[in-house]
Copies of this chain bind each other. A is one copy, B any other.
Amino acid sequence: MNILLLVAHGSRREESNLEVEALSKKMIEYNINNFDQIIPAFLEFASPSIPEAIEKCSELGALNVTVLPYFLSAGVHIKRDIPGEVKNASIDFPNLNITISNYFGSRDEIAGLLMKTALDIK
C-alpha cells in the first residue's frame, strides 16, 4: 500500500487548511494507480501533523509513504523541519519506507503559471 502525504505549512486561518484538504482530494483525478490514498498533513497550526499522519499511514498498513512538500521555496522548512520530522517518524515506524519528493516550487512550469496568474488568464 502506497500513501501520498501532501504536506503544507498550515495556517491559523481554517479556510486555508481546508484549501489544502480540497487540493488533496482534487489530486485523486491525477492519480493513475500510483497511490492508494492521498492524505493532507501540516507542519504547523493544523492537524494532522506530520508525525500524526505518518502514524496513521502505519495504522492503515502502508508500506511506502511519499512525503510531498507543498512549499514554494527551499527555506528552513524544506531543508530542516520536514526532513527532521520524517527522520523521527522513521525511527518510530521502522517498517515504513518513507521518501520525501522534491518540493512543489522546484517545478519549471511555475514561471509561466505565475504570468497567467498576473494576467488573470484561465
Interface residues of A (CB under 8 A from B): 4, 6, 8-9, 11-13, 15-17, 19-20, 23, 26-27, 29-31, 34-35, 66, 68, 70-76, 79, 101-120, 122
Contact = CB atoms under 8 A, between A and B. Distances in A.
- Which of A70, A108, A119 lies at the interface centre, i.e. has the most chain B CB atoms within 10 A of its CB? A119
Nearest to A26: B111
A68 B13 contact: no
A111 B23 contact: yes
A73 B116 contact: no
Given A109-B113, A110-B23, A101 B75 contact: no
Nearest to A18: B73
B114 A23 contact: yes
Contacts of A13: 74-76, 79
